[in-house]
Amino acid sequence: MGSIFITSCYNPVLLPTSGLAERSLCSENSQAEASSSNRPQADGGGARLLCIQQPRYLAGPKQILHRHNNHEQEAPCSSSSAFASSFATSVDGCRRSPRLSSSSGRRGHGAVEETTELRVCKVDTSATDTEYFGESILDWQTQLGAWKEYTFQETATSKGAGGGVPVFIMLPLDSVSMNNTVTRRRALNASLVALKSAGVEGVMMDIWWGIVENDGPRNYNWSAYKEIIEMVRKSGLKVQAVMSFHQCGANVGDSCKIPLPPWVTEEMQRNPDIAYTDKAGRRNHEYVSLGCDTLPVLKGRTPIQVYADFMRSFRDTFEDLLGDVIVEIQCGLGPAGEMRYPSYPEDQGKWRFPGIGEFQCYDKYMMASLKANAYSQGKPHWGLGGPHDAGHYNQMPEETGFFRRDGSWQSEYGQFFLEWYSQMLLAHGERVLSAACGIFCGTGVTISGKIAGIHWHYGTRSHAAELTAGYYNTRSRDGYLPIAQMFAKHGITLNFTCIEMKDIEQPANAVCSPENLVKQVAIASRKAGIRMAGENALPRFDAGAHHQIVKKSRLQMSEKGDHMTNLKEFEPLSAFTFLRMCETLFRSENWSLFVSFVRHMEEGRTFHPWEEDARTAEIRVHATRPFVQEAASLMYH
């Protein structure tokens, strides 16, 4: 009989594999997705290893649940192993796989039942413990090969290194009103027909938590989204569905206000510390603080459980369309749906470009974690708060003691704090994405996560604006490779913004470099072995932005420069999502440019003269003109 070692910070647990039920240990949420019968027997004897290891600087209370002889037990743990339960991951990973069932079928619609299969690798039992237990689970630089769980398969949006890039377009933020009805229905219908005729692949739409679960916990109303997705299906387009767990109205380009569900904001009023907090004590209600990810602060459920229940309900509601009409699920991971802290909020006039922003770590849950990790390092005074000299939202790096050229961001304390702050964010992304994997695996959809394109102050040593947002990226440290490698662990597509921007268009005082930032993220994605998708950060309808997107969509970038000997070696963006469908897009001159842009993207004709296909593009423009005119006239009526 084989065995499984479960270890957490030097507290190994030995379990016999014969009594281990099928269980996904990727997250607390994927546990609910597992079946407890017919688990394939592990081959051979010996020991097997399940690593639940402690990331550096993370400490706090936790629980690790496993099954032994079909009974839940609590594994022993030490108080210094922070959020390790959220990182529980098998070396080979966990997979949901279809199997034939004699029952009526999966959720009553077929003859296939999904199960979760825990797969762990054989371990040489003669090896010393330190060979397996001495590394941090987030030490991606050295452990990528060991932790990688996913091998890419060809998808509908992958056309090879020499192929084109499918173009999606974002629907208006308020396509569904707060009373859960479709807005501007006739304009939307005309727009969809025009987009299909122009060669667009599909649309991206926000699925707002504040609308769907507005009436109370687990009370989901999908009616308006059903109607829109059916309209999209009839038009022959595809859907990228964004699980939007954030508030709308606090970011650049937000044209409407959609708050979090009322029962969530009520909990924030009762317990203000579940909202992000800056050093002045100002609360940000845009997204629930990741400091309480694993605590039952939302009517008896943890935020991660709430997000997972929402995604599970979406899956069950739209299961017949997943993988066919709905081809991608983008998991909301923070403000604006991006995996970051709300360090530069535009609402209430707190921040304006190009301010450095502020650290968001002053709610009691984040502070408790910081204090615990400071104690674990033997430096209790480090846990009293964030950097005292990090400045204010609208300051420049050189105006602060922490971010200036020779600032304390390079000190031992600065490195401790930035490591903790960034790894807390990485841990949050891991929890949400692993939950999504457990829910949507086997449905045929691509799962993606979005990273913010924080390009201002990129040319400085400290990269201050990135640091306050949670990306520990400096001139001497690659902060995006750990993110890409975490995404790779679950086969997540990395969606990145500011693809349309040029360095020369940015103000000199902001020391921006969006082009080098895109290059860095592209190289990190390539090293991690994941696909990268893109968006434009700001609405742009001009030919210059289109040209830049087409050029950068090829991802032909190297660490030594953009001139490479083998340009066909790397795949381009897996998809590009255009921001955004609106009345301006349908103006005659903008629409003509957009149709030509879509054609160049979809055919991969990046390096051909832009005018080469002008005639073909004009034919498409002419064919779509009636629908474009109708869409434009109805867009705001």
286 catalytic? Reply is no
Q: HSE, CB side, 13 Å, CA atoms: give it for residue 515.
A: 15
Task: Please state, in angstroms and rounded to a whole number, the distance separating the CA atoms of residues 576 and 203.
Answer: 11
CB 495 within 8 A of CB 330: yes
CB 446 within 8 A of CB 328: yes
Task: Please state, in angstroms and rounded to a whole number, the distance separating the CA atoms of residues 185 and 66.
Answer: 49
Residue matched to tokens 């959720």 = 107
Residue matched to tokens 């002045």 = 280
| Catalytically annotated residue among 286, 338, 358, 630 | 338
Distances (CA, A) of 413 to 343, 398, 407, 410: 21, 19, 11, 8
| Catalytically annotated residue among 22, 28, 328, 535 | 535
Beta pairing, strands 112-118 & 89-90? unpaired
CB 456 within 8 A of CB 465: yes
Peptide bond into 23 cis (omega under 30): no
What's the distance, Cα to Cα, between the start and end of the chain in Å? 70
535 catalytic? Reply is yes
Which amino acid is residue 524, in one-letter code? A
Beta pairing, strands 167-170 & 576-578? parallel
Task: Please state, in angstroms and rounded to a whole number, the distance separating the CA atoms of residues 364 and 349.
Answer: 25
For 230-256, letters b (16+ CB in 10 Å) and e give ebbbebebbbbbbbbbbbbebbeebee
- Catalytic site residues? 338, 535
